[in-house]
Amino acid sequence: MNEAAWLPVIFLGLMGLAVLVYALLDGYDLGVGILMPMKTANETDRDIMIASIGPFWDANETWLVLAVGLMLIAFPAAHSLVFFHLYLPAATMLIGLILRGVAFDFRAKASLDHKLAWDRTFKIGSLITSLSQGYMLGQYVIGFDQSAMGQFFSLLSAAGVTAAYCYIGAAWLIMKTENALQLKAIQQAKLAGRVTLLGIVAVSLVNPLVNPLVFQRWFEQPYFIFVLPIPAICFAAFFFNERLLKHMTSHNDRKSWLPILYVACIFMMSFIALGFSFYPYIVPNKLTIWEAASAPESLQFILAGTVIVVPMILAYTVFAYWVFRGKATELRYY
């Protein structure tokens, strides 16, 4: 196998890794933002929720930058095609991210009378970002179809991704908080999990109907036998997490780390299913990774830098999560 054949596969794997890690890490802090209560009396809860994501949320977005950067330099034709069709939702997502960043900093500097307004801005920015990402995913999967059916699928995807972010955000709060806030997160995780399950089932039913390639991959031999474990593991994670949440209380905190592992498993299985459905296409039914890839000489040069940068990002991510492990405490600004 020559370089022109295997280098695009490596970069597809690196880009897939960046997207998956972003969905897991920024997914939970977007979920926490969406779940923030907006009543004046809940200021302490909001402070603890912010404290739980404070050391991580900004660095989590590094993985989004890495994913988009890898697409730009390794698959420029795909980058142009994707953002040609998704320019407006991508711009909307950036507005949401800007709102989150501004609100996060200003809530610490604003007077008490304006703090709630910035918390609301953070919540709105989180919701806009989540809905935009879900809509873009739906448009990507359906091949940028602008018909009524395409719009319905994309809106369904937007709702499903937002529910999934709330699910992993609630699971994060179960792990990082205590007492009444943790009990509230358990209830939120139950509801978000059920909505996420419905979303996955709905998307799984609609996607094969609008994508003949997906139907072939999932329902024709010999693929069917090999891919059956993917939905089996996904639905098992939903089932066991639901059972765990039903019996979990703030007085039994030993297993508070398990819900986020179950949700991470659901995210990974969904991501693997998506990748399996469309490989080797980087733009479904339009461009394969080899058609969209840069010249082998360019990929070789980029790979040298990627081999250095990606492990460094992984290392500081692991280090940050290790340093700030444990329960979130009262938020203080110095």
pLDDT tens-digit readout, 152-206: 889 989 999 999 999 999 999 999 998 888 999 999 999 999 999 998 988 888 7
Select from 119, 117, 125 the least CA-distant residue to 37.
119
- The DSSP code for 283 is E
Residues 6 or more apart whose Cβ sits within 8 Å of residue 325: none
Share of the chain above pLDDT 70, in %: 96
Looking at the chain, list the stretches that DSSP marks H as alpha helix, in order from N- to C-terminal side. 3-35, 43-53, 57-60, 62-74, 76-85, 87-106, 112-141, 148-176, 179-210, 212-219, 223-227, 229-246, 258-278, 289-292, 296-323
pLDDT of residue 251: 60
Average pLDDT, stretch 110-123? 84
253: β partners: none
pTM higher than 0.85, yes or no?
Answer: yes
Average pLDDT, stretch 228-250? 88
Select from 162, 192, 176, 166 the least CA-distant residue to 47.
176
SS3 282: strand
Please, how many CA atoms are within 13 Å of residue 51, restricted to the half-sphere of its CB?
17
pLDDT of residue 207: 76
pLDDT digits (tens, 9 = 90+) for 136-166: 999 998 888 888 888 888 998 999 999 999 9
User: Contact at 8 Å (CB) between 165 and 134?
Assistant: no
Please, how many CA atoms are within 13 Å of residue 298, restricted to the half-sphere of its CB?
12
Average pLDDT, stretch 109-129? 87
CATH of region 7-323, choose from 1.10.10, 2.130.10, 1.20.1630, 1.10.3470: 1.20.1630
SS3 330: coil
Q: Where are the domains of the chain?
A: 7-323
Distance CA 162, CA 195 (A): 10
Query: Taking 80 as the threshold, does the pLDDT of residue 19 lie above it?
Result: yes
Average pLDDT, stretch 4-28? 92
pLDDT of residue 41: 64
Distance CA 239, CA 232 (A): 11
End-to-end CA, the chain: 57
SS3 288: strand
Q: Which two tokens stand for residue 101?
A: 């960043």
pLDDT of residue 202: 86
Determine the angle formed by the axes of helices 258-278 and 3-35, rounding to 10 degrees: 140
Distance CA 267, CA 286 (A): 26
pLDDT of residue 57: 83
